[in-house]
Chains A and B, each alone.
Chain A
């Protein structure tokens, strides 16, 4: 029974990854670019989902990890002329180190205090980027494309501004993150993370050091968010402090809730739907963030399990 479930999970997720790959040959240019962006942002949401959806820790400052990845990669390219690969790795390292240090004291708080502390530190990171504006250029932002060397592989050059390179790089990052989060969700570790969410006290009395598990979840979450931030900087070429603002901490929460917290595919679904909703509304009003507020309220009141959560509850109990 168990191995049957595992096989189903693997097949489904591979099929989704395959479908996304094929979509690049079908989609018109506009949606082609959008999907590349959605995949990177969904990666951010998947990182968030590991912490919030599985472990039950709601963070309101996740933009700091995204920004850490973005600036970790972006600054290295801008000042030190790093290649894309090294910059990407550095972005991940920046995300994971920030998460590791932050977790050591933030996780000492529980319940709503944790939420407040994450929000505060998210904002402090944003302000720090603005304060050191001479180095970070946070206020105006900067582009990395001018300093970024094209990738040379087997004698062929791949420029990151090329839409196809952009799409496939985004796809790789997404596929990697989805594989990692699915592997975690379906593993013994994932089971403990879920147990922490459901009943932390009981988990502790089973003999689990729940602090360590929460810290691990935060580090993985920070690493994936950092990877998303680094990929965003490298592929879409813009680095700015606005990505560290509170809105970018609320977005992954919204995407995850809409898609279904604690489901592996929810972040992708939620990010996609919300991306197009905001894309449509920002076309005719400056107050398009109204959609963000309205959706959050509606989700809490009428649809707390989210889209994939509903699918799981109704049709496919086996979904991780």
Chain B
């Protein structure tokens, strides 16, 4: 079976720095893949290349067997690659409803002209669904940036849900969350993997070990190791790179 995502020889150079170096990265359908590694290992850059925020210096990216290397960010998002930012990136000043509606209506109508004909009722049904799923139904009309940080994170999850992605990239989703909130988030992530493939960048090892089906370890822009959680946890090379001992 073709993997959902596959990169071949992917590289990104910033001036003299090779941030991502010849990376072959494959994720099969339905998997939760964790990417770990020390700061500056190139994890976020790699995700930037996959989501189309950055253009690669070399290499190829294919999504569901199709070459998407030359597609722009919005085209990739439209075909199902959804990226959530490291820092929350909601639309400040808009209500929670509006935030999720932007995701919902994009899913309901692909082209700009289809947007014109869109019925608000269909959008609002979808928004209500997504907000209810993450437990934010009670703050629908509140300004998104007035929510506590953990709720803003959940709002982002709701936006991702409303988009119905095929590949969801979560960049350090538990950063800044309290323990209870982390548990809720993990539940949501696990609940959607029936239909969605997830790539998660994470520093919190308990979360990684609990969620991931498979772990990729990166260091200095390259893939250092890849394997099941138990295997990776026992790898001495990984421990040295990651824990710096």
Direct touch of chains A and B (CB < 8 A):
yes
B127 (CB) vs chain A CBs: closest residue: A2
Chain B residues positioned under 8 Å from A287 (CB to CB): none
A206 touches B102 (CB 8 A): yes
In-complex Cβ contact of A202 among B91, B109, B120, B163 (8 A)? B91
State the CA gap A2–B90 with chains docked (Å).
Answer: 21
A205 touches B115 (CB 8 A): no
A207 touches B163 (CB 8 A): yes
> Is A157 an interface position by the 8 A CB rule?
no
> Is A188 an interface position by the 8 A CB rule?
yes
Which applies to chain A's interface (DSSP): helix, strand, loop or mixed? helix
In-complex Cβ contact of A198 among B94, B109, B123 (8 A)? B94
Stretch of B71-79, B174-182, B204-212, B234-242 at the chain-chain interface: B71-79
Interface residues on chain B, size class: 20 to 34
In-complex Cβ contact of A216 among B112, B120, B141 (8 A)? B112
A192 touches B73 (CB 8 A): no
B51 touches A205 (CB 8 A): yes
A194 (CB) vs chain B CBs: closest residue: B94
**A-B Cβ contacts below 8 A, count:** 76
> Is A295 an interface position by the 8 A CB rule?
no
Chain B residues positioned under 8 Å from A201 (CB to CB): 53, 89
B53 touches A205 (CB 8 A): yes
A207 touches B92 (CB 8 A): no
> Is B118 an interface position by the 8 A CB rule?
yes
B106 touches A207 (CB 8 A): yes
B73 touches A204 (CB 8 A): yes
State the CA gap A259–B24 with chains docked (Å).
Answer: 55
Q: With A204-B73, A206-B103 as given contacts, are A188 and B91 in contact (CB-CB < 8 Å)?
A: no
State the CA gap A194–B73 with chains docked (Å).
Answer: 19
State the CA gap A146–B106 with chains docked (Å).
Answer: 52
State the CA gap A288–B97 with chains docked (Å).
Answer: 46
Chain B residues positioned under 8 Å from A6 (CB to CB): 120
In-complex Cβ contact of A204 among B74, B90, B123 (8 A)? B74
B83 touches A208 (CB 8 A): no
- Given A199-B92, A207-B74, 7 more A-B residue pairs with CB atoms under 8 Å apart are A1-B141, A188-B123, A201-B53, A204-B77, A205-B82, A206-B102, A207-B78
